[in-house]
Amino acid sequence: MLVPAPPTAAVISSASPTVLQARKVRHILIRLHYLPLIPEDYLGAHGHIHKTYQWRFKIPRALQALAASDSWQDPWNPLVLGALYQFEAVHNLPIVPGGMGIRGLPLNIEKALLHAKKTDPDPWTWILVTKFPRPEEIHLFMGGRGWIFQSKANTGVMHATPDGTWPVYARDTHTAMVGRFPIPVPHAQIRLYEAAKSAGYALHSVHYSRYHHHWVQYQHYDDPDIRWVNYFDRGRAVHFYPRANYGFPQSAGCVELPKSAAHKVYGLIHYGTPVTVSHAAIGPWDPPGSKYLKQPLNIKPIHLAYREIAAKSTALSVHLQLVETSASDANH
């Protein structure tokens, strides 16, 4: 099935006048818990206010590295874009980005954001797909609970599943997929074919292509029964596909799972869940089901106040943190 995919990359100047609009969108998503962050401001040496964000729950090292690799001010940040997609899904809106990530949103989505009061009904989730060490695996992280699921998985042959992070933008319990699968061809076969053609032999026309530095022939496929599908990068998706074994590259670019694993993952994640594909993610791993918090975070009305963090303040700068307070504290 051909799924229209939102753009996945862009370079945006931080001097663009639309940054304020993106900041407002980001803060609405944070306030409603679609983006599980707490804003933190601090005063720099030259009197400038600098902004950082803290997570609402403990996160593993691999997610720390991912969060540090993209600026929160980037309108194409996949974690922020994922929060927008989840907001759109919850409010029955089209799952689309703006003209530039979270900038330039359609008017109906901007209006929904400005008037929204409904918090995210689902826990925040993140998928990490690791290629090495073998076997290839999928790991599912849930905010406040830690690693809750893992399974063997298959990525694409000849690097057909690139490394990177993308939010889930389309989902389907049952669909058909049509495309072309790259079949590797030995270089010696190419040379033999070209030599025979040059010598004047009558040969059937054969078309060879280059694909990720490999010679290939493409084989068309039409699979009508693909289940538990979560599209994240154009036509690439996390889904069930029947294989004799799992744990090594076999697909045309998707992340393939056994049936029971695909069904479970589909039920645990939602629109906007970021999917990270990593050649070798940062460890060490916490075991699936590890408890980061004794109790789940309760969603309550948020009251915010600035407090100085003395340990981080100096004679040249005051470090202020935007913290949540109780309703009684907010009235004093």
Sequential pLDDT tens for the chain (332 residues): 445 455 443 333 333 334 348 999 999 999 999 999 999 887 777 778 877 899 999 999 999 999 999 999 999 999 999 999 999 999 999 999 988 899 999 999 999 999 999 999 999 999 999 999 999 999 999 999 999 999 999 999 999 999 999 999 999 999 999 999 999 899 899 899 889 988 988 888 888 999 888 899 999 999 999 999 999 999 999 999 999 999 999 999 999 999 999 999 999 999 999 999 999 887 656 655 555 444 434 434 444 455 666 776 665 555 555 455 554 544 44
Predicted pLDDT at 32? 98
Question: Do residues 147 and 141 make contact, with C-beta atoms less than 8 angstroms apart?
Answer: yes
Predicted pLDDT at 41? 81
Q: Which token pair is 234?
A: 């154009």
In whole angstroms, give the CA distance from residue 62 to residue 285. 9
In whole angstroms, give the CA distance from residue 327 to residue 302. 8
Q: Which residue has the tokens 């950082």?
A: 52
In whole angstroms, give the CA distance from residue 51 to residue 319. 10
Predicted pLDDT at 42? 77
Question: Do residues 238 and 232 make contact, with C-beta atoms less than 8 angstroms apart?
Answer: yes
Predicted pLDDT at 299? 37
Predicted pLDDT at 173? 98
In whole angstroms, give the CA distance from residue 85 to residue 78. 10
**Sign of the torsion angle spanned by Cα atoms 11, 82, 127, 31:** positive
Residue 213: what residue type?
H
Question: Which of 33, 239, 270, 319 is labelled catalytic?
Answer: 239
In whole angstroms, give the CA distance from residue 25 to residue 81. 10
**Interaxial angle between packed helices 19-31 and 107-115, expressed in degrees from 0 to 180 and rounded to the nearest 10:** 50
Question: Do residues 27 and 6 make contact, with C-beta atoms less than 8 angstroms apart?
Answer: no
Instruction: Please give the distance of CA 169 from its chain centroid, rounded to a whole number.
Output: 10
Give the dihedral of Cα atoms 320, 321, 327, 332; nearest 10 deg.
-10
Predicted pLDDT at 256? 99
Question: Does domain 19-181+217-299 bear CATH number 3.30.1370.110?
Answer: no
Predicted pLDDT at 301? 44
Instruction: State yes or no: is 239 an active-site residue.
Output: yes
Instruction: State yes or no: is 263 an active-site residue.
Output: no
Predicted pLDDT at 308? 63
Predicted pLDDT at 50? 78
Question: Which of 254, 263, 270, 319 is labelled catalytic?
Answer: 254
How would you classify the pairing of strands 274-278 and 214-233? unpaired
